[in-house]
Structure 1
Amino acid sequence: MGPTNSTKRSQTEIHTFLEKEKERFIEKIENPIRQNANLDDFELTRTIGTGSFGRVVLVKHRKDSEKENIALKILDKQVIVKMKQIDHTLAEKKILQALSCPFIVKLLYTFKYNSYLYLGLEYAPGGELFTHLRAIGRYTEDMSRFYSAQMVLAFEYLHHLGVIYRDLKPENLLFASDGYLKMTDFGFAKRVKDRTWTLCGTPEYLAPEIILSRGYNKGVDYWALGVLMYEMSAGYPPFFADQPIQIYEKIVSGRVRFPNHFSVELKDLLKNLLQVDLTRRYGNLKSGVRDIKEHRWYKDVDFIAIFQKAVPAPFIPRTDKENYEMYDEQPLTVSPSERFPREFLEF
């Protein structure tokens, strides 16, 4: 069988696989899991992350020994309501519980109790890509290729389901024990049929169409992919400045300067991802993600082998040491009665 027929066959197999995943996703979206645990089921160990709406605590399940460590995301209802993030929070839980991808954290448990909402997530012990990248300085192109290929596959999966992620950045990519990545934090994820207009994301990673308040779609994820690939390979993002407004001006200008050590192939791919003109941006064209997967920078990458985790990772995190920052522990202040029952009825 020639390479052309082989490519067609693999494309057909991928499409068939994604269509089955879409059916499974829709079934789970229409019949989401509700309360499948409570706080007494877990033994709290320590805080491994904090955010605007709460924190993430490393916990152990008291009864299920197979799930040795779980990252329990604890969200404060009052803060969510105050910051008008109810819809984003409900969407995060609804979407995450329906996803099944090797490069996305699994939602294992979900429950609510009085003051808080709880999401029990698969624990990635290797810490953030952000921390690892800062420690090394910058990745080789081979490393950037390996990690970015996983994000290409994650986006191919999400976009086939009609979901855009909108929050790709090194802080939201965690190392599993096998050295592969897990995408986390789906607070900005959204099911989109055509376009959406919400301004959300991290300044350095925002696509021009978001900044210019134009309707946007999956193209914003591929712009962010370009930013990530650049940052991994350079050690710094393509657009940075002291103030967000200055960052936005640079992004909208579309002018990108490349370090001398970038290969010709990497520069070419980045020019097509960091493309202000949506009608020319890779991932957003007629061939979709194939323009990226078949680009010459990825010529030696077997995406199916990456998906199956058959390619040895260039870095295996040590799991016998702490890979997350230490935080001051604070007790949970739980209300004696259910807070905002109507607002979080669907959680």
Structure 2
Amino acid sequence: MQSVTALANTQRYRYQFDREERELLKHSVVNTLKQSKSFPEVCSSQDAMNRASAMSKRRSTGQLRRSSQYSCYSSTKTIRTVASQMSLNSRGKEIWRAPGVCEIPDILGKAFLRPELPTASETTLTLREPNAAKCISRRPWLPPNPHADIPALPPLVRSENEFQRAIRKSLPKVRVPNVTNPKALYTNFSEVGTGVNGSVLKATHCQKRSLRVAIKRCRLDPDKEYRAAILRELRIMSSGHANLIRLREAFVWRDDVWMTMDLMKCSVFAVLCQRGIPEDFTVYIASETLKALYYLHSKGYIHRDIKCENLLIGWNGEVKLADFGLATRSNRRNCDRLGTAKWMAPEVIREQYYDETIDMWSLGITIIEMMDRVPPHYRIKDEYELFETVLTEPSPTFTYSYPSMYMRGLVAWLLDEDPRTRPSARDVILEIDAHIQSNLLRTSTPDQFTNFLYQVLP
């Protein structure tokens, strides 16, 4: 009980001591500030007393509030006097106090405050005066109705592109017009077939109604080799040989190359769809094809796609070779597997280097096709199985027809597996002529062949 009473007396004594100390400190600070020369005149004694009272009451922080160097109370003498009085207790010992809160100067001001909205008088907009020199006069927009006077479109003028200039340079004897619309030159378009590089249409000339032509369209590709193949095909057709399809004109329109050629009656394949071709007509077709191949080989070209679909028949019984999309030069090292699978020579299947004698192998397969109505191994649909059969089995021969012994010998000569002993086009032409003169082979005339076509074709 005595300890509790002593503790209460101690607390009462400490509170009374603190109160007297605050009063003495407040009067001391006020007197010190009044005597200081740095004390501003605008501050009254009441303000000073309030500040001193606030400073004396910050006992909880353990340290007086120190004025910054930007404050109006930043007198060194005043701060030292107050600090020296506050840092000593009644016993004359320095009191430890925790670091307090210093005053942060306002150096940013109102930089981050939201700007005030302008008043109604300040929101008046001023229009910029128009500059007459920069004004462009335009015709008013007219609505699309029958009463509006809509001007006609100007004529479309297409400039000659680079590939058309290359055609004109490569084919100086062929007409290469600047066509804005092929329908202005030809009409009655209808598709009759497809080639290696595009489709084939037949059409009628607008001015010459009796002139009917075949038009082959090839899509232009940026590939240089593809464009070189098109130029090569045009160059071959423009040679003017009697057994090669003739090129009338060529032009470029909408990224397509249009090749205008003579319209033929049909192909040899169309005849096979009706019936097989007898031996004498087969000899005639083979002789005409050999003339075309002899000319191509002498000019340094390889056709690489000899078959009945590419042998065209004219209205007077003439035979012409067509579709030179896979043709290549014979003076380069060719080893690409190109052509139609059932007509490929063994060296083409093996992708070995080959020459123009591959066309002679394809011609031998074509002769069998004309008489049998189907090529050898036509039942084999898988390409790799077909290649394996051609490379492992002996050279094919006739299956469904009965040719003469000399025709069998001619085909066996053409289908020699060794390209070094395979004959050339000139050798076969001389051999056929010798057999015809010796009455060992029979052939027909163009008129006889025309009569045969009229009887066979519907």
The 2-side partners of 1:47 and 1:301 are apart by 43
Question: Residue deviations 1:146-170, cap 9 Å, x none?
Answer: 1111011111111111111111111
Alignment match, 2:154: none
Alignment match, 1:88: 229
Q: Is the 8 A contact 2:284 2:445 kept in 1?
A: no
Alignment match, 1:291: 427
Alignment match, 1:120: 260
Alignment match, 1:107: 247
Q: Is the 8 A contact 2:315 2:450 kept in 1?
A: no
Question: Residue deviations 1:123-167, cap 9 Å, x none?
Answer: 10x21211211211x221111101111011111111111111111
Cα separation, partners in 2 of 1:84 and 1:29, compared to 1, 3 Å:
closer
The 2-side partners of 1:175 and 1:56 are apart by 16
1:301 offset after TM fit, Å? 6.3
Is structure 2 residue 213 aligned with structure 1 residue 70? Answer: yes
1:297 offset after TM fit, Å? 8.3
The 1-side partners of 2:352 and 2:224 are apart by 23
Alignment match, 2:17: none
**In structure 1, what residue type is equivalent to 2:428?**
I
The answer to which of 56-65 and 153-162 deviates more is: 56-65
Q: Is the 8 A contact 2:174 2:248 kept in 1?
A: no
**In structure 2, what residue type is equivalent to 1:146?**
Y
**In structure 2, what residue type is equivalent to 1:314?**
F
Alignment match, 2:364: 226
Alignment match, 1:163: 301
User: Structure 1: where are the runs of 5+ without partners?
Assistant: 1-27, 284-288, 303-308, 324-347
Cα separation, partners in 2 of 1:162 and 1:120, compared to 1, 3 Å:
same
The 2-side partners of 1:193 and 1:31 are apart by 24
Q: Percent identity?
A: 23
User: Structure 2: where are the runs of 5+ without partners?
Assistant: 1-168, 439-443
Q: Is the 8 A contact 1:47 1:55 kept in 2?
A: yes
The 2-side partners of 1:32 and 1:247 are apart by 44
Alignment match, 1:248: 387
1:48 offset after TM fit, Å? 1.5
1:194 offset after TM fit, Å? 4.9
User: Tell me, what secondary structure is at the counterpart of 1:75?
Assistant: strand
1:232 offset after TM fit, Å? 0.9
1:94 offset after TM fit, Å? 2.8
- RMSD across aligned positions (CA): 2.9
- The correspondence of residues 171-320 of structure 1 with structure 2, limited to 5 A, is 171-240=309-378, 241-253=380-392, 254-259=394-399, 261-283=402-424, 289-295=425-431, 299-300=435-436, 311-316=446-451, 317-318=453-454
- Determine which of 35, 40, 50 is the counterpart of 2:194: 50
Q: Is the 8 A contact 1:73 1:120 kept in 2?
A: yes
Alignment match, 2:72: none
The 2-side partners of 1:109 and 1:297 are apart by 36
Paired residues in the alignment total 277
TM (norm. structure 1) is 0.71
1:31 offset after TM fit, Å? 4.5
**In structure 1, what residue type is equivalent to 2:186?**
F
User: Tell me, what secondary structure is at the counterpart of 2:274?
Assistant: helix
Alignment match, 1:342: none
The 1-side partners of 2:337 and 2:217 are apart by 25
1:83 offset after TM fit, Å? 12
1:29 offset after TM fit, Å? 5.3
1:291 offset after TM fit, Å? 2.7
Question: Residue deviations 1:310-342, cap 9 Å, x none?
Answer: 6534234459xx98xxxxxxxxxxxxxxxxxxx
**In structure 1, what residue type is equivalent to 2:215?**
L
The 1-side partners of 2:233 and 2:332 are apart by 19
1:122 offset after TM fit, Å? 0.9
Is structure 2 residue 204 aligned with structure 1 residue 60? Answer: yes
Q: Is the 8 A contact 1:92 1:186 kept in 2?
A: yes
1:264 offset after TM fit, Å? 1.4
**In structure 2, what residue type is equivalent to 1:244?**
E
